[in-house]
Structure 1
Amino acid sequence: MSKDEAAIEAEIAEKGLTAPRLTPGHIDAVIEDEIYWNPAGTSLTICVLILKNGFTVTGESAAASNENFDPQIGMKIARQNAREKIWALEGYLLRQRLFEGGV
C-alpha cells in the first residue's frame, strides 16, 4: 500500500465510511502472480499481473534516456501502472454485485 493509499484509508476510517468498497488490500489479494519483460536494448519494462481468476492486466514503463534506465525502478513503475488498472475492473464488479443485490 502506498503512502497515498494509506492516507486515504485513514481518512475513510476517520469519517466512518463503511459501505461496501474496494481496499488496497483487496486489490493486492486478487493478484496471483506477476511476470516482467524487458526487451533487450530498450528501457521498456512490461509487467503482467495474473489475477486469481486467470485474467491479466499489463503495465509499462520506459526511461526517456537509456542512460537513466534502472531495471528495479522500471519494474516498480510498470507494476504500479498494471495494479492501477485492477481498481477499475474490481470497481465495476463490485458495482454490478451491488446492483444485483449480491453484496
Structure 2
Amino acid sequence: MNDDGAMEYPIDGVLDLHVFPPSDVHDLVPEYLRACREKGILTVRIIHGKGTGTLRRIVHSRLESLPWVRSYHLAGHGSGTWGATIAYLEPAGTGGNTD
C-alpha cells in the first residue's frame, strides 16, 4: 500500500482480479488498461477466474465500452483458458478517446 492507503499494483500487462473486491472491477479495468497504454503495453491478460462468469461478463462489458480496445478474446491454453481474457489496445494517442 502507498501512503494514502491505496494498493499499489504492478503495471506489467497482467491484471489478476482475484486480489481485488468485485465491486472495484468496474473502475479498475479501464484504469489499469490506461496505465498499460501509457507504458506502451498493448497486450494485456486479465485474469477473472472461471467461477460463475460474473467477473468475466463485467470485464467484457468494460472492454466493449472502451474505444481504444482494439479487440479481446478468452485466453488460450497456457494463458488461463476461459479464466482469463486477452485484450489488445490501441497505442496511446490513437483509437478514439484517450481516456
With the shorter chain as reference, the TM-score category is under 0.3
Larger Rg: 1
Return the structure number with greater helix share. Answer: 1
TM-score, length-normalised on structure 1? 0.25
